[in-house]
Structure 1
Amino acid sequence: MIRHSVIFKLKSNIEEDQKKAFFDAVDALAAISGVQNFEVLKQVSPKNHYEYGISMEFDTTELYDYYSNHPDHVYFVQHFWLNTVEDFLEIDYVPLIL
């Protein structure tokens, strides 16, 4: 299992209609085959400057790679992410086995 999380801050000059279009496009990513436990989150702690998070899980590395290279995801990155996000942190987790 891989848990893919992206924590981010939007650009300060984003209009409300652009913000809505961005999050509508985010929500559409959940339909890509292999995506599980998809969540869009609002950050509430004052401990950092990030505002939002996206979290999802994949059963295998192959499914995660399929998602990453899927045309809908590539389009989202090129047309929404790069134009809307100011800063981000991407984390991919696997269960710790000791």
Structure 2
Amino acid sequence: MMIQHIVLFNLKHRENSLEEQEFFHRVQKLSLIPEVHNLKHLRQLSQKNPFKYALSMTFESLKFYQCYLKDVRHKSFVENYWLAEVTEFMEVDLAPFSNESLV
């Protein structure tokens, strides 16, 4: 079962600032974690929610997603950068409907 992990968030940095660029450079290093696939950092365009940015990545299974959460590189990123630079966020973890659940 494929897992789509999406995080919507705001940074304390100004848009297009050097600090913003450095943050996303650090984000990109999360793609070195073997379980992470299709890592993208995006600007959120809708005016229907308060978030300016999004991260999106996929995992082949719930097990791989849980491995990512425990990975020392993920934990280090959260402790050293995310907590210091992100002002608010919302996580969304999605899985496809199975045929059985649609019946």
Counterpart of 2:43? 42
Secondary structure in 2 matching 1:33: coil
CA distance in 2, matches of 1:37, 1:21: 20
CA distance in 2, matches of 1:40, 1:58: 16
Counterpart of 1:18? 19
Percentage identity across paired residues of the two chains? 38
Counterpart of 2:73? 72
Q: RMSD in angstroms over aligned alpha carbons?
A: 1.2
Q: Structure 1: which 4+ aligned runs deviate by more than 6 Å? A: none
TM-score, length basis structure 1 = 0.90
Residue by residue, what CA displacement relative to the aligned partner does 1:32-74 show, whole Å, maximum 9, x if unpaired? Answer: 0011121111011111110000011111111111111111100
Q: Which runs of 5+ in 2 are unaligned?
A: none
CA distance in 1, matches of 2:18, 2:71: 26
CA distance in 2, matches of 1:62, 1:39: 21
Q: Which runs of 5+ in 1 are unaligned?
A: none
